[in-house]
Amino acid sequence: MTAPSLEGVSLTGTGLHLAFGANKVLRGVDLHVDAGKTVTVIGPSGSGKSTLLRVLNRLHEPDAGDVLLDGKSVLKDDPDALRQRIGMVFQHFNLFPHKTVVENIALAPRKLKGMSKTEARDLALAQLELVGLAHKAESRPANLSGGQQQRVAIARALAMKPEVMFFDEATSALDPELVKGVLALMADLGSGGMTMVVVTHEMGFARSVSDTVVFMDHGAVVETGTPGQLFDSPETERLQQFLSQVL
């Protein structure tokens, strides 16, 4: 794929707290991504990584703290409007099985941006081209590999022209041989100027693609730094222990 020209904006979360009952899931998390940069969030299962993403795009309202896009607080904005500015890709892609690939991508631009059928279809085809799947436009999702389906899910998110992209373990459900293609596409988006927050267990990706790596444990950021700092010279015992388990 030729790197697209994408215009990500900066994203900042400050002092984010969230509890589910007595379970303090986020305990004062700060996270900043400069425009066009990639931050990878690593950490053990249950450390609050997915919840952090969900607070940053306001699927959950934080108990305290602020979220800023392009330097402006978005906590008073309409949550639906905010979610249109942040594209999200999950482990399970949830494509509509009875719609074709191109219809899956055109749906949100039609419904949420009021595009005409032709306009949305043209946009969808352009996004499919970008992820190298123009030839699958008329296929049903079930006839694509998991890796191809995940690339369609990425194209679907990009069709909304997001300013930031979130990936939450986007390759965890894929067969090992399909992981590489999806990671390569994500890396291309990052080098094309998208702002990205990537939750991943792929330490190779975290090391080679991130501008900044954030290590979370028990709802808090334990270490933040360049990939070299975190992977080669972890400062805390908790990160050292985590890395010894996953590397």
Q: In the complex, which residues of this chain contact Mg ion (CB under 5 A)? A: 50
Write the CA distances from 172 to 126, 145, 146, 152, 179, integer angstroms: 27, 14, 11, 16, 8
Asked whether 102 and 125 are in contact (CB, 8 A), the reply is yes
Which residues lie closer than 8 Å to 89 by C-beta, 6 or more apart? 150, 153, 154, 157, 165, 166, 167, 168, 170
| 58 is an interface residue for ligand ADP by CB under 6 A | no
- Cα(145)–Cα(143) distance, rounded to whole angstroms? 7
Among 40, 51, 171, 200, binds ligand ADP (CB under 6 A): 51
**Judged by CB under 6 A, which of 13, 48, 87, 162 binds ligand ADP?**
48
Give the nearer residue to ligand ADP in terms of CB position, either 6 or 230.
230
CA distance 246 to 244: 6
Assess 25 for contact with ligand ADP (CB under 6 A). yes
Three-class secondary structure of residue 163 per DSSP: coil
Q: What residue 104 binds from ligand ADP, Mg ion, none (CB within 5 to 8 A, per partner kind)?
A: none
Residues in contact with ligand ADP, total (CB under 6 A)?
Answer: 11
From the list ligand ADP, Mg ion, none, which binds 96 (C-beta under 5 to 8 Å, kind-based)? Answer: none
* Distant-in-sequence, close-in-space partners of 43: CB < 8 Å, separation ≥ 6: 49, 215, 216, 217, 222, 242
Q: Of ligand ADP, Mg ion, none, which one sits near residue 127, judging by CB under 5 to 8 A according to partner kind?
A: none
Among candidates 244, 214, 231, which has minimal Cα distance to 30? 214
Segment 127 to 146, residues that bind ligand ADP, using CB under 6 A: none
Q: Which is nearer to Mg ion, 195 or 200 (CB)?
A: 200
Residue 48 touches which of ligand ADP, Mg ion, none (Cβ within 5-8 Å per kind)? ligand ADP
Please pick, from the candidates 23, 73, 94, 240, the single residue that binds ligand ADP as defined by CB under 6 A: 23
Q: How far apart are CA 205 and CA 101, in angstroms?
A: 27
Does 49 participate in binding ligand ADP (rule CB under 6 A)? Answer: yes
Residues with Cβ within 8 Å of 119's Cβ and at least 6 positions away in sequence, in order, are 109
CB-wise, 56 or 115, nearer to ligand ADP? 56
Q: Which is nearer to Mg ion, 93 or 106 (CB)?
A: 93
Provide the binding-site residues for ligand ADP, judged by CB under 6 A. 20, 23, 25, 43, 45-51
